[in-house]
Amino acid sequence: MKYASEELKNEHEGILLGLQILEKMAEKAEKGAPLPAEDASEIVEFLKLFADKCHHGKEEGILFPIMERYGIPNERGPIGQMLSEHVEGRKFIQGLSSSISNGTLDTSAFAKNARLYIDLLRAHIQKENNVLFPMGDKLIPESEQQSILKAFDNHESTTMGPGIHDKLHGMLDTFQKKYL
Ligand SMILES: [Fe+2]
Ligand SMILES: [Fe+2]
């Protein structure tokens, strides 16, 4: 059977690639090497839309509430921990956004928030992949897995709209060649 968590784990791979690109940009910013503000802005938009709105939205709005129903604790438990990390991540994303204005980049604020976000999200993804998702896979039955996957599809089409997913992957490809 297909576990709903597999879809989220695939998305983690895309997010990790985005973080690798962000890391290279942060290195450039720290070294004073040229970094176009538009590139910085595009990767921040990717993280906002794909990592936060789409991916964290699926976790918060669909998977986590079902995990809770099957006995995984929220408050003072693994779900609560993941939710508070999403909130913390949004502060760094906000910091990244604020470091870019009117086509100019505040390189030190960009690099600082990028480092904090990268460290937080890499550890977060490890915890979901290795601890929380395997717990959920054991508890959530097959019939429920299918309805979660359907709800993921709906969420994706309402939050991102048609063609956006492909457009974001195209952007990652371009940046991968340019920065990695
Ligand atoms: Fe998460
Ligand atoms: Fe996740």
Q: For the chain, which domains are there?
A: 4-179 (1.20.120.520)
**Residues with Cβ within 8 Å of residue 121, at least 6 apart in sequence:** 15, 19, 51, 89
Nearest to 30 by CA among 108, 92, 104: 108
Quote the pLDDT of residue 2: 87
* pTM listed for this prediction: 0.97
Q: How far, in Å, CA of 160 to CA of 114, rounded?
A: 24
Among the bound ligands, the one closest to the CA of 64: 1
Q: How far is the CA of 41 from the centre of ligand 1 (A)?
A: 22
pLDDT at 117: 98
Q: Is 101 helix (H, G, I), strand (E, B) or coil?
A: strand
48 Cα to the center of ligand 1, angstroms: 13
Ligand nearest to the CA of 89: 1
User: How many C-beta neighbours within 10 Å does residue 50 have?
Assistant: 23
- Tell me the ligand closest to 82's alpha carbon: 1
Q: Which helix (H) or strand (E) is 61 found in, with range?
A: none
Residue 119 and residue 113: Cα distance in Å, rounded?
A: 10
- Residue 81 tokens, joined: 């921990």
CA of 21 to the centre of ligand 1 (A): 20
62 CA distance to ligand 2 middle (Å): 12
CA of 125 relative to ligand 1 center, distance in Å: 7
pLDDT at residue 4 in the model: 97
pLDDT in tens, the chain (180 residues): 789 999 999 999 999 999 999 999 999 999 999 999 999 999 999 999 999 999 999 999 999 999 999 999 999 999 999 999 999 999 999 999 999 999 999 999 999 999 999 999 999 999 999 999 999 999 999 999 999 999 999 999 999 888 898 999 999 999 999 999
The C-alpha angle 31, 33, 35, rounded to 5 degrees, equals 120
Query: 31 CA distance to ligand 2 centroid (A)?
Result: 31
Q: Which amino acid is at 104?
A: T
Ligand 2 center from residue 25 Cα (angstroms) = 23
CA distance 104 to 74: 41
What local confidence, expressed as pLDDT, does residue 161 receive?
84
Asked whether 155 and 134 are in contact (CB, 8 A), the reply is: no
